[in-house]
Structure 1
Amino acid sequence: MLSVPVHLALDAAARRAPGAPAATDHRCALDYAALAELSRRFSGWLWERGLRPGDRVVARAESSVDFLALLHGALRLGVTLVPVHVQTRPYQLLPLIADADPALVLAFDAEIPDLAGAGAKVVGINQAWGEAAHTPARTETDETIPEAPAFLLYTSGSSSQPKAVVCSHRQVGTALAAVAEQLRYRADDVVFGRLPLAFDYGLYQILLCANAGAHLVLADHATNAELLPMMRDAGATVLPVVPTLGRMAVALARRGTQVDTLRLITNTGEALTRADQVGLRKAFPNAELAPMYGLTECKRVSIRPPTAVDLPTDSVGPPLPGTQVAILDEQGNPLPRNQTGQIVVLGPHVADGYWRAPGPTRERFATCVATGRRVLFTGDHGHLDEHGELVIGGRLDDVFKNSGVRVSGSEIEAAAADIPGVRAAALVRPPGKAGPLLWAEGEIEPAEVLRELRLRLEPAKVPARCQVLPSLPTTANGKLDRKQLLARASEESA
């Protein structure tokens, strides 16, 4: 568990081991004493810019030690950080900035003219990094209010309107403590950070490393071919992955680059298929695997304890200590073990809701009719098995009826991914009468995919159409881009 508040974790790590490596990017490396000092300079720079506790700062979450220092500086000052992906364009930034209502925006220099009308102070990132490095350190640490927002984390959804999860210091600290207790990062760990830092899975690597005193290697800039050599040269021991990154690492390992130091692979954001798990175990035989399940709205729900046995598995582990999970039917009634329904979550790590969005907050963070308590309705379906471990079935909106048979898109995707020659699969249902379309990634004929599916599924669950691509599109966070596949399917159905 955390021994100090989140905003003081970096200072605690610096006191324990000031000379230990803290963070490395493509330009430089900092030990814990230097990172703590730089964070105090960022705190001073924000103060000189007029920011006070409760103000918001929108910042490009580039993979740099400067961004890490900014994050820790904002935490210690009580300023709410709003990280945005480096690939976010001005067209997307403007509504986000209008929604966040920040006191300061840190943008790439080329975008400043486009953001001039945003209504907030706008500073180029290079200017900010340079000024902060030469600002006197602010040694005072404000008394952070536990219920005050530490982060606003914007999530993608079905609506084009921006929607941010309000993550309070209390919620972040509780979630961080629970995850840290299960994953047990160590002071001698080297965490290989390939994930975007605007993605909460990537963002929390900063906090987990500070809590443990581990070394975070930021590798977002690396080309795919450089990944495993960089991991080997860094002596990486921990690798957080989404499926696309995991598959890439497996493919590169098959070409001969070995990373014998890797001891732990974690996964969330999107589940690893059984084939993914087998591939990772073969490519990195010294590493244990920890499948996890979570949402930005509560950070993490469950973690399967790291293991190298009993794999592959569909389980994402038992609920975290202090977390309660219930499976509800369509009427909101609790279901027994091994029966599938909507996953709802109750616990101190559940966020307070969405920023300035009372309607969506009431819908998602609602009252359970069975218990009368406020819970998070995840929108995912699954079940608790006989051991109390959670098994995820997919999104509620991927369940539909075909010829009177209840069909799960996730079940079809899992069956497709089991076919030799298929690396990944995604089922989308465009509007109209054309029916669902299965997209597969690999070097295989669509007709063969459908033929193999008929050997694995009952006839009503086999889609009539299949398309195969060399690679399925992904979002900026490395997740499967279902919106793009749906758009392509809709065009083909038109």
Structure 2
Amino acid sequence: MIQLDPHPRPIDHLTLRGDAGRLALAGRVGELDYAGLEHAVARLAGFLAGQGFAPGDRVASWLPKTLLASILPLAAPRAGLVHVPINPQLKRGQVSHILADSGARLLITQTARLPLLERGDVPHGTRAIADEAVLAGGDPVPPSDADPDALAAILYTSGSTGRPKGVMLSHANLWLGAISVAHYLRLEPADRVLAVLPLSFDYGQSQLLSTWAAGACAVPMDYLLPRDVIKAVARDAITTLAGVPPLWVQLLEGDWPQETATALRRITNSGGALTPAMVRQLRERFPNADLYPMYGLTEAFRSTYLDPDLVDRHPESIGRAIPFAEVMVVAPDGTRAAPGEPGELVHAGPLVAHGYWRDPARTAERFRPAPAWSDSGGMAVWSGDTVVIEPHGLLRFVGRGDEMIKVSGNRVSPTEVEEAALAGGELAEAVAIGVPDARTGQAIHLIARARGAPEAVEPRLRERLRRDLPGFMQPAEIIWRQALPRNANGKLDRAALRRELTS
């Protein structure tokens, strides 16, 4: 287990964490040991440094998980620039918005993607070049001596709730986050981490950075079907796999050879809470893997994790604060919430981002001074999410503040409805949405994918929900779908469903 050194370094120094001859990258991107990773980052930083940009200028990338995409998070900051990764699944309108909003001086993409951008999509003053022009690199640049508080990256949210907004992350945010995660996941140099989540996603980028913080090997991969992930776990001798709930649903439905499923030693979840049923299924499918449920938000990277030894006894918990984070539950009156009392999750400490890029209004809403009783003090992220401290000291996620449903004066957590709906095994996926209703204020509509024929499933499901939930939490309508929409980060797209049902 790596040491928890609280003193951050420039993020590009991660190339120095592993033994020179040990693999740092493998898989379809090719193989690089740590000496090769350092050389590749140094050459790419040299190319970027030779482009005449000013310190702090932004360099955007719109790439799948190529070698170039994997090393840009280290190379751009080494060159004194700020990396802006754009999810390759985003379309030209979203790409154009991110380029304009970030003020990127350069966009690096693939030759095949350049024709997808129309006149005006690339703002005046921004150059768009193909990755082939970058791969040769420039004169090597040594590891940087950047101020840890200097910006290193701007990560844009998925845009599921409107225009994407850029979260500003410093070298210190990224470095301490990588060290923290590598420590509590107990990553070792012998581990091989399959990186299937988008590298533009904070959780996805963490796959790389925490792996390198531990001196281990990252295996970046884009996949089309869940079976591609299963094959990669076997082919690349993967020990560690990170996912979000919709991906776990797909993987649990896949055909896992026993020797492949039992080879995994560590699985992690964030981007949405696991239901107790999913926890049970994951534990049964991957019996040799430690399961790490986690909670995070881009504005503070990661907030909590649940120790694997506690998962079976507390499957609904999101655990305790990760190293370097102070996590508080704040009651509506600003005081410390008592055990069992719902409150807002507030995160303080050195993992807190520097706000939203060029958006002081939204920054002021989310980034506010920590409560007076905070140990860390300073600026905190007020998540808007409701959690509860259980009697044993662990946190339980209740719901997102902007998603709570109000039925006849009762505040209903969509998470609680979804967990109840999924608990019986009739459904593969479910999303609860509040829809305006003249009689009750809002009515609960459950959008679901059935395991079997919906006409056979619905009577059993409704009978069980009437037994398990009070009347005001019963779905007024169940809407059956063959598939549920996902956003660019692989999460269920609740905002799109809400717009569809309420427009």
TM (norm. structure 2) is: 0.90
Match of 1:103 in 2: 105
Q: How far has the Cα of 1:402 moved from its partner?
A: 2.0
Q: Distance in 2 between matches of 1:346 and 1:360?
A: 18
Equivalent residue in structure 2 for 1:227, among 220, 226, 229: 229
| Residues 488 and 156 of structure 1: CA distance in aligned 2, closer, same or farther (over 3 Å) | same
Contact residue 340 and residue 383 of structure 1 kept, 8 A: yes
More helix by percentage = 1
Q: Residue 437 in 1 paired to residue 442 in 2?
A: no
Where 1:317 maps in the other structure, the secondary structure is strand
Question: In structure 1, what is the equivalent of residue 350 of structure 2?
Answer: 348
Instruction: Quickly say closer, same or farther: Cα 1:248–1:311, change in 2 above 3 A.
Output: farther
* Structure 2 counterpart of 1:28: 30
Partner of 1:207: 209
Local SS of the residue matching 1:152: strand
Superposed displacement of residue 185, structure 1: 1.2
Q: Is residue 168–residue 357 contact of structure 2 (8 Å, CA) maintained in 1?
A: yes
Q: Which moved more, 1:333-342 or 1:318-327?
A: 318-327
SS at match of 1:45: helix
**How far apart, in 2, do the equivalents of 1:465 and 1:224 lie?**
31
Deviation at 1:231, TM superposition (A): 0.6
Render the CA deviation track for 1:101-149: whole Å, top value 9, x for unaligned.
Answer: 1111123322355456412332333xx3x33332333233332122211
Question: 1:71 matched to which residue of 2?
Answer: 73
C-alpha distance in structure 1 between counterparts of 2:128 and 2:150, whole Å = 25
> What letter is aligned with 1:439?
I
SS across alignment from 1:471: coil
Match of 1:396 in 2: 401
Choose from 451, 456, 470 the match for 1:458.
470
* Percent identity of equivalent pairs: 31
Matched, 1:470 2:482: yes
Kept after mapping to 2: 8 A contact 1:112/1:123: no
Query: 1:213-254 deviations in whole A, cap 9, x for unaligned?
Result: 211112213532222122111111000011122122222245
Give SS of 1:472's match: coil
1:419 aligned to 2:421? no
- 2:223–2:229 Cα contact (<8 Å) kept: no
* Structure 1 residues 308 and 393: CA distance shift in structure 2, 3 A: closer
Pair 1:410-2:415 in alignment: yes
Using the alignment, how far apart are the partners of 1:149 and 1:245 within structure 2?
A: 31
Matched residue, 2:62: 60
- Offset at residue 19 of structure 1 (A): 2.5
- Partner SS state of residue 179, structure 1: helix
Separation in structure 1 between the aligned mates of residue 188 and residue 134 of structure 2, nearest angstrom: 30
SS where residue 398 of structure 1 aligns? coil
> How many residue pairs align between the two structures?
486
CA contact (8 A) 1:104 1:121 kept: yes
1:111-190 → structure 2 map (5 Å cutoff): 111-114=116-119, 117-125=122-130, 128=131, 130-156=132-158, 160-190=162-192
Shift of 1:8: 4.0
Q: Select the residue among 13, 36, 40 that pairs with 1:9.
A: 13
Contact 2:29 2:220 in 1 (8 A): no
1:11 deviation in Å?
3.2
- Whole-Å Cα distance in 1 between the matches of residues 34 and 325 of structure 2? 32
1:429 aligns to what SS in structure 2? Answer: strand
1: CA distance, partners of 2:287 / 2:299: 34
Deviations 1:316-346 (A, max 9, x none): 1111234222222223232111211111111
In 1, distance between residues paired with 2:428 and 2:201?
A: 24
**Cα 1:368/1:230, change in 2 over 3 Å:** closer
Cα contact 2:366–2:382 (8 A) shared by 1:
yes
Q: Which amino acid is the alignment partner of residue 428 of structure 2?
A: R
**Alpha-carbon distance, 1:403 to partner:** 2.8
Specify the SS of the correspondent of 1:289: strand
State which drifts further: 313-322 or 439-448: 439-448
1:311 Cα deviation after fit: 5.0
Q: Does the Cα contact within 8 Å between 2:96 and 2:121 map onto a contact in 1?
A: no
Q: Is the 8 A contact 1:278 1:311 kept in 2?
A: no
1:246 aligned partner? 248
Code of the residue aligned with 1:87 in structure 2: it is Q
Residue 23 of structure 2 contacts residue 216 of structure 2 at CA under 8 Å; is this kept in 1? Answer: yes
How far residue 484 of structure 1 moved from its aligned partner, in angstroms, is 2.1
Which whole-Å deviations, capped at 9, do the CAs of 1:395-427 have from their partners, x for residues lacking one?
Answer: 123333323333222111111111221122111
Checking the alignment, whether the CA contact within 8 Å between 2:11 and 2:174 is kept in structure 1 is: no
Amino acid at match of 1:404: G
1:142 alignment partner, SS class: coil
Distance 1:470 1:336 in 2: 43
Which residue does 2:263 correspond to in 1? 261
CA distance in 2, matches of 1:159, 1:234: 37
TM-aligned CA distance change 1:205 to 1:98, over 3 Å: same
Residue of structure 2 aligned with 1:321, choices 320, 323, 329: 323
> Cα distance, 1:475 vs. partner?
1.1
Q: Which residue among 447, 453, 458 is the counterpart of 1:446? A: 458
Contact between 2:407 and 2:443, CA under 8 Å: does it hold in 1?
no
Q: Distance in 2 between matches of 1:271 and 1:370?
A: 30
Could you say what secondary structure the match of 1:376 adopts?
strand
Q: Which whole-Å deviations, capped at 9, do the CAs of 1:423-448 have from their partners, x for residues lacking one?
A: 22111123454722111222343343
Displacement of 1:195? 0.8
Q: TM-score, normalised by structure 1?
A: 0.92
Deviates more, 1:306-315 or 1:468-477: 306-315
Q: 2:495 aligns with which of 459, 467, 483?
A: 483
Identify unmatched segments of 5+ residues in structure 1.
Answer: none
Moved more, 178-187 or 404-413: 404-413
1:309–1:11 distance in 2 versus 1, CA, 3 Å: closer
Instruction: Give the RMSD, CA atoms, in angstroms.
Output: 2.3
Residue 152 of structure 1 deviates from its aligned partner by 0.4
Q: Are the aligned partners of 1:365 and 1:375 in contact in 2 as well (CA < 8 Å)?
A: yes
- Measure, in 2, the Cα distance between the counterparts of 1:479 and 1:275: 18
